[in-house]
Amino acid sequence: MASSEKENGPAALDDWKHEQEPLAPSTPTDTATLSSEGLKPEVKEREQWTNKIDFLLACIGFSVGLGNVWRFPFLCYRNGGGAFLIPYFIAVLLGGIPMFFLEVSLGQFMSEGGIGTWKICPLFQGIGYASAVLVFLLNCEYNIILTWAFHYLFSSFTSVLPWSNCDNEWNTPNCHVDHRQMSNTLNATVNATTSYNISTDVRTTVASITVMATNVTESLSSGKITDPVTEYWERRVLRLSDGVGEPGNIQWDLCLCLLLAWIVVYFCIWKGIRSSGKVMYFTATSPYVLMFILLIRGLTLEGAADGLRFYLVPDFSRLQDPQVWVDAGTQIFFSYSIALGTLTALGSYNRFNHNSYRDTVLFAIVNSFTSVLAGLVIFSILGFMANRQGVSVAEVAESGPGLAFIAYPEAVSQMPIAPFWSCLFFAMVILLGLDSQFVGVEGFITFVVDLYPAIFRKGYRREILIGIVCFVCFLIGLSMVTEGGMYVFQLFDYYSASRIVLVVAFFECVVVSYVYGIGRYQDNLEMMFGFRVPTVFKCLWMVLTPIFTMTIFIMGAVTYSELIYDRKFIRYEYPKWAIQVGWTMAMCSVICIPVVFGFRLFRQEGSISKRFLEAIKPTLKKHHLRIGEDLNKVNLVSEHESYPDIDSMLPGSVMQLEGKTIYMQNNEFDA
Q: Return binding residues for Na(+).
A: 61, 64, 68, 335, 367, 432, 435-436
Q: How many CB atoms lie within 10 A of CB 326?
A: 23
What's the CA gap between 485 and 144, in Å, rounded? 10
Residue pair 135/340 in contact (Cβ under 8 Å)? The answer is: yes
Strand partners, 38: 35
Beta bridge partners of 34: 39
Report the first-to-last Cα separation within the chain, whole angstroms: 9
Q: How far, rounded to the nearest angstrom, does the alpha carbon of residue 197 sit from its chain's CA centroid? A: 59
- Please give the biggest Cα pair distance in the chain: 125
Distance CA 577, CA 649 (A): 57
CA angle 35, 111, 271 (to 5 degrees): 70
Assign 3-class secondary structure to 228-283: HHHHHHHHHHCCCCCCCCCCCCECHHHHHHHHHHHHHHHHHHCCCHHHHHHHHHHH
Residue type present at position 441:
V
CA–CA dist 382, 446 (Å, integer): 41
573: part of which helix (H) or strand (E)? Answer: strand 571-573
Sort strands 660-665 and 668-670 into parallel, antiparallel or unpaired. Answer: antiparallel
Binding-site residues from annotation = 61, 64, 68, 335, 367, 432, 435-436
| Residue of 600, 594, 617 lying closest to 517 (CA atoms) | 617
Q: Quick one: CA dihedral 557, 541, 338, 130, positive or negative?
A: negative
615, 126 Cβ separation under 8 angstroms? no
559 CB-near residues (< 8 Å, 6+ apart): 322, 323, 326
- Roughly what angle, to the nearest 10 degrees, separates helices 485-495 and 576-590? 40
The rounded distance, in Å, linking the Cα atoms of 440 and 389 is 40
SS3 call for 34: strand
Residue 634 CA to residue 619 CA, distance in Å, equals 6
- Residue at 464: amino acid letter: I
Q: Which residues pair with 226 in a beta bridge?
A: 175
